[in-house]
Chain A
Amino acid sequence: MRSSAATDMEYKDYYKILNVARDATQDQIKQAYRKAARKCHPDVSKDAHAEAKFKEIGEAYEVLKDPEKRAAYDKFGAHWQEGQHFDPPPNWDAGFEFKGSGAYEKDPGGFSDFFESLFGHAQAGGRQQAHAFRMKGEDHHAKVVIPLADAYRGARQTITLSRPAVDDNGRVGTSPHTLHVLIPKGIIEGQRVRLEGQGLPGYGDSPPGDLYLEIAFQEDRLFHAEKRDIHLTLPIAPWEAALGASLTVPTLDGQVQLKIPPGSQGGKKLRLKGKGLCSANHRGDQIVTLQIVVPEPTTDEQRRLYRAMAEQMPFNPRAGLER
């Protein structure tokens, strides 16, 4: 059964989505789909919207690969724009019989309202129906971007995922799914949190799948993480490097005092133990890299100071370059 209750539906330009001409051959469409699928696959692409794009090209291919669906779709004409408000004309599909309706190859829950109002909803179970009536729901994978401070201390995150839901008539649509999740202290980039039973619903009376949240870190102005260690570049004055100093340094745990030993060179690394991402059994440190910043002399007196230094300190910084 097809629904005509689409209220605010946008036109989808499936040719544009697959980047093919309207008169492309079936082979060209297949090649364009395969190329786009490889590029946008969520396991391959770093694009934050890869998952949505991958679903979109799957939907476009579902229509264009099937000559009958494609012919029906083509009847709307070429003057529609992607995203334009769209209501299918009554009886637009007269004379077409869609093969395979109700059991799509790709995840049916991911298809748009546009697709579903034209080509029908898939029954719950979709492509798995042929294999087993009872089947655990699919796992859902999502990325969560958190600030470094949250990884350091642990945090509470509220996330909203769009996922398929089955209504009373057994039809599949998407609905937002909000979850409140504890992000454990000391989690590092690339690690995952598994939430049992929070994936897609099961078929029959089987249990739902699991949700996997992969952690990524927000860009930070000061710090960057390498595994469990937090790196900071610390600008210091030449006299602080030469004479030693005790400086206030930011960490994810707030300000701490750091002793710069006398005679430190630029690039020297100092370690603040335990100020990285620590979990129950693993310690991370903060690594401070010294960067000597030379003040520009702006007055005669300041230039005189530099000259006095040059005269009184015999020093060849390029001694190592001599052959």
Chain B
Amino acid sequence: MTQQHVYIQGTILNEETRCSLADLCALCGVSTEIINEMINEGIITPEGPSIREWCFTAVAIKRVQTTMRLQRDLRINLPGCALALDLLEELEELRHLTRCR
């Protein structure tokens, strides 16, 4: 009964998470060109004054990963992904509000 398991401690992606452009590319398995296209489309917005100092939030990481899946699985183009992400976010807020009522 008293079997000892090794518990893994992951990295929490929370409101304090910030990663560099290189980290973001590595985490999501994409090139800087793809990230630039997503920035131009308004899917993600970097913080920081210059590319060297750019940093990205946990929300940005998630949006990039979701965009990659939507493109792969549903063949949605970049503007379509931007729209889908915004609508999904709004839907999530509304669902939360109705749950709280």
Is the contact region of chain B dominated by helix, strand, or loop, or is it mixed? helix
Q: Which residue of A lies closest to B9 (CB)?
A: A182
Q: Which residue of B lies closest to A228 (CB)?
A: B15
B52 within 8 Å of A (CB atoms): no
Q: Across the interface, do A181 and B10 meet the contact criterion of CB distance under 8 Å?
A: yes
Q: How far, in whole Å, are A43 and B87 apart by their CA atoms in the complex?
A: 12
Count chain B residues whose beta carbon lies closer than 8 angstroms to a beta carbon of A: 29
Which of A180, A181, A192, A196 lies in contact with B62, CB distance below 8 A? A192
Q: Across the interface, do A44 and B88 meet the contact criterion of CB distance under 8 Å?
A: yes
Q: Contacts A136-B29, A224-B100: A41 and B12 contacting too (C-beta < 8 A)?
A: no
Q: Across the interface, do A180 and B10 meet the contact criterion of CB distance under 8 Å?
A: no
Q: Contacts A37-B73, A43-B66, A46-B95: A194 and B16 contacting too (C-beta < 8 A)?
A: no
B25 within 8 Å of A (CB atoms): no
Q: How far, in whole Å, are A194 and B61 apart by their CA atoms in the complex?
A: 11
B residues lining the A interface (CB < 8 Å): 5-16, 27, 29, 58, 62, 65-66, 69-70, 73-74, 84, 88, 92, 95-96, 99-100
Residues in B with CB closer than 8 Å to A139 are: 29, 65
Q: Across the interface, do B8 and A198 meet the contact criterion of CB distance under 8 Å?
A: yes
Q: Contacts A37-B73, A37-B74: A181 and B12 contacting too (C-beta < 8 A)?
A: no
A123 within 8 Å of B (CB atoms): no
A74 within 8 Å of B (CB atoms): no
A237 within 8 Å of B (CB atoms): no
Count chain A residues whose beta carbon lies closer than 8 angstroms to a beta carbon of B: 39
A282 within 8 Å of B (CB atoms): yes
Which of B5, B12, B65, B74 lies in contact with A191, CB distance below 8 A? B12
Q: A282 to nearest B CB, angstroms?
A: 7
Q: Across the interface, do B74 and A193 meet the contact criterion of CB distance under 8 Å?
A: no
Q: Across the interface, do A158 and B5 meet the contact criterion of CB distance under 8 Å?
A: yes
Q: How far, in whole Å, are A179 and B10 apart by their CA atoms in the complex?
A: 12
Which of B10, B62, B100 lies in contact with A193, CB distance below 8 A? B10
Q: How far, in whole Å, are A211 and B7 apart by their CA atoms in the complex?
A: 15
Q: Contacts A43-B88, A158-B5, A194-B11: A226 and B100 contacting too (C-beta < 8 A)?
A: yes
Q: B43 to nearest A CB, angstroms?
A: 13
Q: Across the interface, do B10 and A196 meet the contact criterion of CB distance under 8 Å?
A: yes
Binary per-residue interface labels of chain A (3-44) against chain B in the complex, 1 for a CB within 8 Å, 0 otherwise: 000000000000000000000000000000010011001111
Q: Across the interface, do A193 and B11 meet the contact criterion of CB distance under 8 Å?
A: yes
